[in-house]
Structure 1
Amino acid sequence: MYCNFMEHGIEYAKQAVKEDDTGNYSKALQLYMNALEYFQAQLKYEKNQQIEKTIRERCLGYLKRAEEIRAVLDNGGSVPASNGDASVAAQPKTSPKPKDGGGKDKEDPEKAKLKAGLDSVIIREKPNVKWSDVAGLENAKLALQEAVILPVKFPQFFTGKRKPWRAFLLYGPPGTGKSYLAKAVATEADSTFFSVSSSDLVSKWMGESEKLVSNLFQLARDSAPSIIFVDEIDSLCGQRGEGNESEASRRIKTELLVQMQGVGSDDHKVLVLAATNTPYALDQAIRRRFDKRIYIPLPDLKARQHMFKVHLGDTPHNLTESDFEKLAQKTEGFSGSDISVCVKDVLFEPVRKIQDAEYFMKSSDGMWVPCEPKQRGAVKTTLQELDAQDLASKVLLPPITRADFDKVLARQKPTVSKADLEVHERFTKEFGEEG
């Protein structure tokens, strides 16, 4: 249920800003307080530190404004305009709208409302993913370096007609690391990273979705150099003219086309990255806006070998280089996500051994380790009995072995079918290029 707290908080905040803008301060105050309640509830469950920080900043802005309104309403006076604290991007512009319909002043509250909505759902983050963390995909990494790293470090290379790439489409089967690669780009480029999904840009209010798209690109330009990453873009930009396409969907696609055209022609140092598992579902006009379309395939043998090592990390194990090579050979057809799930399962094997063990022995450093009944020093006991004797902290997990991997792989199968691969390979021949 807690996943709805954020959505409710955002909705109440939007309504509060709207009422605040129109001068309905009593109602705005109540809506601000409702929004704060939901944001506070979200903070109890939020694990992502960056999102938590963003929520707290928004809460400070909304609380400050609510206190201003309450103080003045209690005294029967007029509500002052906000002080425009730049540290709280979601704080609304609060001076009442002019009644004469004067131009700029009338637009500011609307922009503030849309910006508040975007700031509440867009994660500006500095991912900690390096090129070396991405296994394989050398061609894709090289193309992205051309587009992102070189223009920043060597701007003199990109003069005249030589312009850096401005829009990349990463496509391929699920779990091959498209989102991971996008995060590596943001890390290496030292750019502001706007990570959005289609749900962040779709509003139930008429005409607001396309304004959200427009404001997203404007925020990216203001924060340049920046990267806009749209995951699962096919859900936002499917084929136009389909029977189930709504008017709102058509307007969003039109606005996205306009904004991407602007990014391509103007040097705003904004890179658009998008990922999809179903490239054929994309609208043709949107597809053409991506000047680079890179296939992210299943990892090859060398990449799989590297992934097993990365996911194991510094967890104690006794696997050799030969073992990693054999594991890579046994997992042909596995995606990066499949390998991640496999290793995660393997990491629990030592815990399962400890739970199931009926005999333990003391190691040279005084730690209890599971053992066979006939081993010298074996004591018949269980983990629960050791815990009852307050000896649980003295139990040592055994290292991960090749047998642990064999046991897990015997029950795990790849999630990407041959039919899926054929679709992506056909799209690559028609429209894309190998990554």
Structure 2
Amino acid sequence: MHEDPVLTELLAVLERSPEVLPLRVRVIELLAAGGRYTEALSHCATALGQEPGNEQVLELLRLCTAGLAAAPPATTGGFDWTAAEREVADIIAPAFVDDGEPVAVAVGDVGRFGQPKITLADVGGMEEVKRQLELSLLGPLRNPELAKAFGTSARGGLLLYGPPGVGKTFLASAVAGELGANFYPIEITDILDIYTGASERNLHEIFEVARRNAPCVLFLDEVDALGHKRSQLSGSSTMRTVVNQLLTEMDSVTGGNEGVYVLGATNHPWDIDVALRRPGRFDRMILVTLPDPEARVRILRHHLKERPVEGIDLGAIAKRTEGFSGADLAHVCTSATQLAMADAIRSGTVRPVRMADMEQALSRIRPSAGAWFESARNVVEFANGDGTYDELARYMKRRKPR
């Protein structure tokens, strides 16, 4: 069988840039179109580790398992996929399916709502983060008269910041669940548009949708990309107007729209326009750090809970993963599952994920937050004159270097 030259080139590019999800999805499509379902399944597992719940990848996963079920025995090495495809798919898929119940918003609106079933009790560890959320947001909302007596308010925005992959989106969803509110997650790709004025309209409509569906936690991911310092945007008039629009919408929320709680997430708060940090906007910041041992155990358990496992010592793995983010731990679980799946495909017998699979995955994966801590160290040492990042400085002083 001749190799598709386009696929060959894409595989080479993917090897150099494994983090580019759209590229991996295209490779899966081409592998599936060529009947190479086993290889495509391996890429599906990796893609779902990068973006859990990605509907396009899940659909490709179903297509590939169905393709293997229909393939003649010689193609699959004698593996009876008619009987086993569901078992093998069950190893991979359940942990990546969102437990929430997303509902479409009105025609023309951006994004989808979720009504989270999780609360802060489902967040492992992170006791200091939970305490700050209770103090700065949940407490005033639950006790409005008391908050009024002390002259405090939960209005405005709250910014979650920290290394990538530590669960900022999960925390925001848990806050919505705690409040019994709709959860409206927005990424920068939901806002930016190539046409003049369209990005500003998108942003305005997002806030309008949140107001119409209050109580609502409006979660803006990658706020640093959206609300970048205008002094550094001299060559981009489009982005400057988007920042201005965001300022306007934040002021509008503060000015009388009840039931809309704006949470933002960023890896680089030092890149956010200072105007967005003023009172009534993102005037409160909470540092979300790497998971502690208790949190690591719960994260590992979560990512393995619906997969067949045998003899896995979560405590031992947690001890060996100091400095790993939640995303890193998910990657370990996904990689171990891939190893078990590959073994199942070779042998024709579905087996559980074992400690040996986890150890082999751990030997290949390193913590991903190192570069972030290098940037953060520079900020703490040279750009913390006003004490904004004192909490980060204390955390980095306590943190064991890796």
TM, length-normalised to structure 1: 0.59
Q: Please say if residues 216 and 260 of structure 2, whose CA atoms lie closer than 8 Å, have aligned partners that are also in contact.
A: yes
- Counterpart of 1:246 in structure 2: which amino acid? S
Instruction: Determine which of 153, 157, 160 is the counterpart of 2:146.
Output: 157
How does 1:247-258 map onto structure 2 within 5 Å? 247-258=237-248
The answer to whether 1:143 aligns with 2:143 is no
Of the three residues 100, 105, 123, the one matched with 2:112 is 123
Shift of 1:45: 6.2
Q: After alignment, is 258-267 or 193-202 more displaced? A: 258-267
Q: 2-side partners of 1:268 and 1:400: how far apart?
A: 48
Aligned to 1:101: none
Name the counterpart of 2:263: 273
**Counterpart pick for 1:292 among 277, 284, 292:** 284
Task: Report the residue type matching 1:408 in the other structure.
Answer: A
Alignment of 1:327-406 (within 5 A): 327-357=317-347, 383=348, 395=349, 397-406=350-359
The verdict on how the C-alpha distance between 1:190 and 1:243 changes in structure 2, with shifts beyond 3 A counting, is closer
**Matched residues in 2 for 1:149 and 1:416: separation?**
29
SS of the residue corresponding to residue 159 of structure 1 reads helix
Taking CA–CA contacts closer than 8 Å with sequence separation of 6 or more, which of the two structures ends up with the larger relative contact order? Answer: 2
Taking a change above 3 Å as real, the CA distance of residues 427 and 187 of structure 1, as seen in their structure-2 partners, is farther
Match of 1:6 in 2: none
Task: Quote the offset at 1:267 in angstroms.
Answer: 5.4
Aligned amino acid, residue 126 of structure 1: Q
Write the deviation string for residues 40-90 of structure 1: whole angstroms up to 9, x where unpaired.
xx9x96998999963xx8xxxxxxxxxxxxxxxxxxxxxxxxxxxxxxx43
Give the structure 2 partner of residue 408 of structure 1: 361
Give yes or no for contact 2:308–2:352 (8 Å, CA) kept in 1: yes
Change (3 A) 1:271 1:425: farther
**Residue number in structure 2 paired with 1:60:** none
| Contact 2:100 2:115 (C-alpha < 8 Å) held by counterparts | no
Aligned-pair distance for 1:240? Answer: 1.0
Distance in 2 between the 1:420 and 1:408 partners? 23
Q: Aligned match of 2:375 in 423, 426, 429?
A: 423
> Which structure 2 residues correspond to residues 210-225 of structure 1 after superposition, within 5 A?
210-225=200-215
Specify the code of the residue in structure 1 equivalent to 2:153: K
Shift of 1:177: 0.7
**CA deviation profile, 1:252-302 (whole Å, cap 9, x unmatched):** 211211221232343522111111122222112113331211111111222
CA contact (8 A) 1:172 1:295 kept: yes
Consecutive unaligned residues in structure 2, runs of 5 or more: 1-21, 23-55, 61-96, 396-402
> Deviations for 1:329-385, whole angstroms, at most 9, x for unmatched residues?
21112111010010112123333334445xxxxxxxxxxxxxxxxxxxxxxxxx3xx
1:227 aligns with 2:217: yes
For residues 79-119 of structure 1, the C-alpha deviation after alignment (integer angstroms, 9 at most, x for no partner) is xxxxxxxxxx43xxxxxxxxxxxxxxxxxxxxxxxxx3xx1
Please say if residues 176 and 217 of structure 2, whose CA atoms lie closer than 8 Å, have aligned partners that are also in contact. Answer: yes
C-alpha distance in 2 between matches for 1:252 and 1:188: 31
Aligned residues: 293
Question: CA 1:162–1:237 in structure 2 vs 1: closer, same or farther (change >3 Å)?
Answer: closer
Which residue of the partner structure matches residue 304 of structure 1? 296
Tell whether the 8 Å contact from 2:211 to 2:257 is kept in structure 1 after alignment: no
The separation in 1 between residues aligned to 2:201 and 2:173, in whole angstroms, is 26
CA distance in 2, matches of 1:299, 1:163: 29
Question: Match of 2:168?
Answer: 178
Deviations 1:156-180 (A, max 9, x none): 3332523125311111111111111
Contact 1:148 1:189 in 2 (8 A): no
Structure 1 Cα separation of the partners of residues 260 and 233 of structure 2: 34
1:334 partner amino acid: F
Contact 2:113–2:185 (CA under 8 A) maintained in structure 1: yes
Shift of 1:425: 5.6
State the alpha-carbon separation in 1 of the partners of residues 330 and 99 from structure 2.
Answer: 23
Identical amino acids, percent of aligned pairs? 31
Give the letter for the 1:304 counterpart. R
Structure 1 residues 265 and 426 mapped into 2: Cα distance closer, same or farther (>3 Å)?
Answer: farther
1:134 counterpart residue number: 123
Structure of higher CA gyration radius: 1
How far 1:146 moved relative to its partner? 4.2
Conserved 8 A contact 1:192-1:225: yes
Q: In structure 1, how many angstroms separate the alpha carbons of the residues matched to 2:59 and 2:344?
A: 31
CA distance in 1, matches of 2:324, 2:98: 29
